Amino acid sequence: MSDQASDHLLDGGWELVVGLEVHVELDTATKLFSASPNRFGDDPNTNIDPVTLGLPGALPVLNRQAVELAMRIGAALNCTIQACTFHRKNYFYPDMPKAYQISQYDQPLNVDGFL
């Protein structure tokens, strides 16, 4: 192995790869999947609606402004912006009244970015 090729390898031939998963609270008027206001600091349980409460028949609707902001962040970070898919992952926890979480695990909107 050449010296140049081994510069990025650790002992034992392992290559170090570091990735980041970043969580950001977007400054949107409403929540991501609900028409409820997104106001930080309000009294508990005031910015709710049937979707937030997980009431039967209440369906989530994606916040268009949040998607546009996420795409702008992706462009700023040189990401590939792709079609995304949301999945509903079922969980049964006492503090999660809907018993599910919406995730982009398999097909996120922004991938392969760099600074």
What band does 50 get if pLDDT is binned at 50, 70 and 90?
very high
Cα distance between residue 30 and residue 18, in whole Å:
34
Residue type, 40: F
Percentage of the chain exceeding pLDDT 90: 35
Instruction: Output the pTM of the full model.
Output: 0.71
Domain ranges within the chain, ordered by starting residue: 25-111
Convert the pLDDT of each residue in 56-78 to its tens digit.
Answer: 898 999 999 999 999 999 999 99
pLDDT at 17: 83
Contacts of 51 (CB under 8 A, 6+ apart): 33, 34, 35, 36, 58, 59, 60, 61
